[in-house]
């Protein structure tokens, strides 16, 4: 195998596929990146058997030559060293040549590296996915869906299913739900295509986080293919496979209260900053708890009291308060995470009592909501 390639294109692809490579693997060859050169261009693959990423570098794009293939072939190179080498090469072009004994020469300018390669035939094959049911989502919307839900997945392995995000497709609508049983994030989006089929799967939170890092902020569509145990995201020159989590996701529908006793409308940014300030003293405490209570004149009091450190009290004017008076305590971190995920300048918080979960959503927008369980304070 021998080809000459633009360093920047190679580096971008290496960094993308590196997101799937891990040093903690039981299959030694998976610590490498697989490189295949053929008539069309060069394909790089990285995998940790949960996530697999394939990045394609075409021979030319927009009339510029990116790769010149001298001799097709394939090799697997140690990811850690190969990525560091590519990052530090001196000139804009790189030549990669593989000799018969898998010795690989990487040349750039006056610098030359020799790496021991592994046989690409030994590299596990990527899942074969038949693309009968494909639905499309614009990249920027997909990144938004991930950003607004994935932070609520559980980080504890006691209930593995909760470490993923539940994706449901029904009636041409995608619903993404994540919960760690203390809070829940939900986001819906209409799908453009008709007959998208019905799905109910759980995608590991880790996979979605990595996917989001690789996707660029464009409005181009990503094709999504779901099978029994895999999901494939296809963007331009990029394939991202992830295994699905096994098991049934809990029915979260009944967790979300339908009526409320107290509704408060506040300015998102003002409220976020007040919670942030209140949490300055609460952070040291056991669980970062902030108290929230309605007071006369349509105002809200946000306070926190950590005996060893001190107290903070702040008053915010709400846009409106309907219903009963209320005192409630909750985790400042959960509230701040939720507020950062919501779009819109004003939010409505609906409470159904001091010990019941409450719902936060942007005013006049039903496509997204955050739910938080209060904390008992004695």
Q: List pLDDT tens digits, range 301-344.
A: 999 988 888 999 999 999 999 999 999 999 999 999 999 999 88
CATH architecture of 256-372: Box (3.70)
Q: How confident is the model at residue 378, as a pLDDT? A: 54
Burial status of residue 44 (CB atoms within 10 A of its CB: 0-12, 13-18, 19 or more): buried
What is the band of 218 on the pLDDT scale with cuts at 50, 70, 90? confident
Tens of pLDDT along 333-371? 999 999 999 988 999 999 999 999 999 999 999 999 999
Domain ranges of the chain: 2-122, 134-232, 256-372
Can you tell me the distance from the alpha carbon of 226 to that of 343, in angstroms, rounded to the nearest whole number?
A: 28
Judged against a pLDDT cut of 90, whether residue 283 lies above it is answered with: no
Q: H/E element holding 303?
A: strand 299-306
Assessment of whether the complete model's pTM goes beyond 0.75: yes
Mean pLDDT is lowest, of 212-226, 247-261, 280-294, for 280-294
**H/E run at residue 275:** helix 268-282
Closest CA to 267 of 165, 346, 200: 346
CATH number belonging to domain 134-232: 3.10.150.10
Q: Cα-flanking dihedrals φ and ψ of residue 364, to 5°?
A: 60, 35
Give Cα 326 to chain centroid, integer Å: 35
Do the domains at 2-122 and 134-232 have one common CATH topology?
yes
User: Coil, strand, or helix at residue 89?
Assistant: coil
The distance from CA 155 to its chain's CA centroid, rounded to whole angstroms, is 14
pLDDT of residue 377: 74
pLDDT of residue 284: 64
| CATH code, residues 2-122 | 3.10.150.10
């Amino acid at each position: 195998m021998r080809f000459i390639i633009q360093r920047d294109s190679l580096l971008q692809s290496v960094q993308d596929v590196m997101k799937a490579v891990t040093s903690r693997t039981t299959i030694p060859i998976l610590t490498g990146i697989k490189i295949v050169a053929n008539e069309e261009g060069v394909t790089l693959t990285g995998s940790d058997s949960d996530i697999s990423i394939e990045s394609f570098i075409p021979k030319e794009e927009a009339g510029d030559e990116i790769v010149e293939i001298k001799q097709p072939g394939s090799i697997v190179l140690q990811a850690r060293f190969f990525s560091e080498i590519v990052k530090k090469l001196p000139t804009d072009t790189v030549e990669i040549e593989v000799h018969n004994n898998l010795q690989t020469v990487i040349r750039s300018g006056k610098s030359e590296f020799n790496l021991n390669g592994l046989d690409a035939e030994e590299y596990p094959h990527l899942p074969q996915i038949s693309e009968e049911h494909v639905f499309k989502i614009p990249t920027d919307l997909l990144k938004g869906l991930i950003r607004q839900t994935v932070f609520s997945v559980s980080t504890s392995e006691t209930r593995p299913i909760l470490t993923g995000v539940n994706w449901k497709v029904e009636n041409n609508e995608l619903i993404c739900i994540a919960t760690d049983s203390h809070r829940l994030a939900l986001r819906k989006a209409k799908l453009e295509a008709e007959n998208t089929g019905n799905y109910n799967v759980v995608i590991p939170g880790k996979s979605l986080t990595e996917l989001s890092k690789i996707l660029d902020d464009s409005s181009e569509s990503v094709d999504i293919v779901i099978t029994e145990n895999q999901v494939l995201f296809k963007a331009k020159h990029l394939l991202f496979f992830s295994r699905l989590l096994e098991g049934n996701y809990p029915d979260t529908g009944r967790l979300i209260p339908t009526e409320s006793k107290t509704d408060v409308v506040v300015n998102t940014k003002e409220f976020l900053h007040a919670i942030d300030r209140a949490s300055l003293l609460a952070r040291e405490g056991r669980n970062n708890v902030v108290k929230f209570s309605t007071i006369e004149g349509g105002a809200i009091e946000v306070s926190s009291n950590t005996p060893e450190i001190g107290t903070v009290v702040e008053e915010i004017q709400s846009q409106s308060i309907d219903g009963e008076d209320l005192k409630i305590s909750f985790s400042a971190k959960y509230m701040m995470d939720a507020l950062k995920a919501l779009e819109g300048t004003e939010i409505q918080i609906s409470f159904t009592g001091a010990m019941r979960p409450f719902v936060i959503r942007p005013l006049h927008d039903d496509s997204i909501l955050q739910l938080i369980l209060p904390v008992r304070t004695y």
